[in-house]
């Protein structure tokens, strides 16, 4: 069934079309929804049984013109937390923008009230990158900030003050995402002096559960650099984008910069990166190629040391040649050595359209498209595993506009 048939109304009420009627999941099915590695047992689904989709965010609802930039995680108690940017006045990337949240206790079939996690108060807060610490259940959220009057182009050209420019903040929750601490500024420790643009994620971050760095929190991020002295460049050129990683070994209290992609040669312009830990303990990184000269729009690399360094420079991933210039998401599914690595993104090379999911059975060396969710317009996405049998995708979509809704789709893992 096309996603347009499952859109929420303008008042934000989820359309139950696509959800089976009936009682909650039986005890046998709930018991089968075993905990993912490093987490407590999953909470039983108590809402509509085996729904296929829901719409937590609808443009025009809740006091916002547009919702963008989805991110989703599953907590240690089995709750799904769906984050997004709530853009007050328009769909523009700059302006009065909040980070908002909705919680689901039934695997993404229904969603609780919307709350503001980080208020813009006239400025821009966004790029949510949440991660759940499997040891403590604590949820850590990194976000980015800039003045509501400063555009990305102005920041890349170095035309704003440090206070107006991109900054990095961290928050945390110890009550399953019901409340979060106020944003705490990390900029001085995670942003190098020569960097101008900065973005955390967007999309879920990673808690390492295997290897010598088990317990480490890793947040994929990206930046832009200032041109070298004497250059005629302004800094707005796409070649100055680069990916990097942040990591914390103390549960999100302190942070360090890990690897930095600082090639800036215009061939592979890594931007908006995401990560997954593979069964062998390595990290797989996937990044948007921001108009690099190499063919294709997706780049990838690996790290064997918990994101401190890259095993090789970012390189083109030819198996994802159908993906346009856009953010994407990766997820290592539960199940051990044979479990697939998934990637999500639009599947029309020249347009943000037709959200799809690819799978890899060789740790990201190659990918095969498994399913196309619809032919509608689609853009940013984030993947999550609500239980061992299900994959969820939170993604931007619409019939006439790309950002009409942020839909949550549930897909049986066996269908991928």
332-389 pLDDT, tens digit per residue, is 999 888 899 999 999 999 999 999 999 999 999 999 999 999 999 999 999 999 999 9
The Cα–Cα gap between 352 and 405 comes to 14
What's the pTM value of the predicted model, to 2 decimals?
0.89
Using DSSP, state whether 18 is helix, strand or coil: coil
DSSP tag of 152: H
pLDDT of the chain, 416 residues: tens digit per residue: 333 333 333 333 333 333 333 333 223 223 323 333 333 333 334 444 479 999 999 999 999 999 999 999 999 999 999 999 999 999 999 999 999 999 999 999 999 999 999 999 999 999 999 999 999 999 999 999 999 999 999 999 999 999 999 999 999 999 999 999 999 999 999 999 999 999 999 999 999 999 999 999 999 999 999 999 999 999 999 999 999 999 999 999 999 999 999 999 999 999 999 999 999 999 999 999 999 999 999 999 999 999 999 999 999 999 999 999 999 999 999 988 889 999 999 999 999 999 999 999 999 999 999 999 999 999 999 999 999 999 999 999 999 999 999 999 999 999 99
How far lies 155's CA from each of 11, 67, 145, 188, 266, in Å? 36, 23, 12, 17, 19
Bridge-partner residues for 100, per DSSP? Answer: 84, 116
The two structure tokens encoding residue 130: 């949440």
Looking up tokens 């930095």, which residue turns up? 260
The Cα–Cα gap between 378 and 64 comes to 19
Burial class of 129 by CB neighbour count within 10 A (0 to 12, 13 to 18, 19+): buried
The Cα–Cα gap between 207 and 248 comes to 10
**Domains contained in the chain, CATH given:** 3-415 (2.120.10.10)
Instruction: Write phi, then psi, for 398 (nearest 5 degrees).
Output: 180, 160
The Cα–Cα gap between 152 and 95 comes to 11
Q: Using an 8 Å Cβ cutoff, are 248 and 257 in contact?
A: no
Q: Using an 8 Å Cβ cutoff, are 207 and 193 in contact?
A: no
Q: Using an 8 Å Cβ cutoff, are 300 and 286 in contact?
A: yes
Q: Using an 8 Å Cβ cutoff, are 286 and 274 in contact?
A: yes
Q: pLDDT tens, 9-60?
A: 333 333 333 333 333 322 322 332 333 333 333 333 444 447 999 999 999 9
- Residue 189: which H helix or E strand, with range? helix 187-190
Q: How many CB atoms within 10 Å of residue 13? A: 11
DSSP per-residue string spanning 401-415: STTSEEEEEEEEGGG
């Amino acid at each position: 069934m096309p996603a347009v048939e499952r859109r929420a109304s303008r008042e934000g009420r989820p359309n139950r079309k696509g959800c089976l009627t009936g009682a909650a999941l039986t005890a046998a099915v709930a018991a089968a929804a075993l905990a993912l590695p490093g987490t407590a047992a999953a909470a039983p689904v108590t809402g509509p049984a085996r729904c296929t989709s829901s719409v937590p965010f609808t443009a025009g609802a809740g006091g916002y013109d547009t919702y963008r930039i989805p991110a989703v995680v599953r907590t240690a108690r089995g709750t799904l937390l769906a984050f997004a940017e709530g853009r007050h006045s328009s769909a523009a990337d700059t302006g009065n923008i909040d980070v908002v949240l909705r919680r689901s206790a039934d695997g993404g079939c229904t969603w609780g009230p919307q709350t503001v996690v980080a208020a813009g108060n006239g400025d821009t807060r966004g790029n949510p990158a949440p991660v759940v610490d499997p040891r403590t259940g604590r949820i850590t959220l990194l976000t980015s900030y800039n003045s509501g009057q400063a555009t990305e182009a102005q920041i890349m050209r170095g035309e704003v003050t440090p206070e107006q420019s991109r900054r990095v903040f961290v928050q945390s929750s110890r009550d399953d995402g019901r409340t979060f601490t106020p944003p705490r500024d990390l900029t001085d420790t995670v942003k190098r002096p020569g960097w101008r643009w900065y973005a955390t994620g967007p999309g879920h971050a990673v808690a390492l559960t295997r290897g010598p760095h088990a317990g480490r929190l890793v947040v994929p991020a990206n930046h832009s650099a200032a041109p070298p002295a004497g250059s005629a460049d302004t800094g707005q050129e796409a070649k100055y984008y680069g990916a990097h990683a942040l990591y914390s070994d103390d549960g999100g209290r302190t942070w360090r910069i890990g690897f930095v992609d600082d090639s800036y040669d215009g061939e592979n312009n890594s931007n908006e990166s995401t990560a997954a830990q593979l069964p062998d303990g390595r990290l797989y990184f996937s990044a948007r190629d921001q108009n690099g000269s190499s063919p294709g729009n997706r780049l990838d690399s690996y790290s064997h040391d918990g994101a401190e360094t890259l095993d090789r420079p970012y390189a083109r991933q030819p198996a994802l040649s159908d993906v346009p210039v856009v953010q994407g998401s990766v997820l290592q599914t539960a199940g051990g050595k044979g479990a697939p690595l998934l990637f999500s993104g639009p599947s029309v090379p020249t347009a943000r359209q037709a959200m799809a999911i690819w799978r890899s059975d060789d740790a990201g060396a190659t990918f095969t498209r498994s399913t196309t969710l619809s032919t509608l317009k689609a853009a940013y996405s984030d993947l999550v595993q609500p239980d061992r049998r299900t994959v969820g995708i939170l993604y931007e979509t619409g019939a006439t506009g790309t950002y009409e809704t942020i839909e949550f789709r549930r897909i049986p893992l066996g269908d991928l």
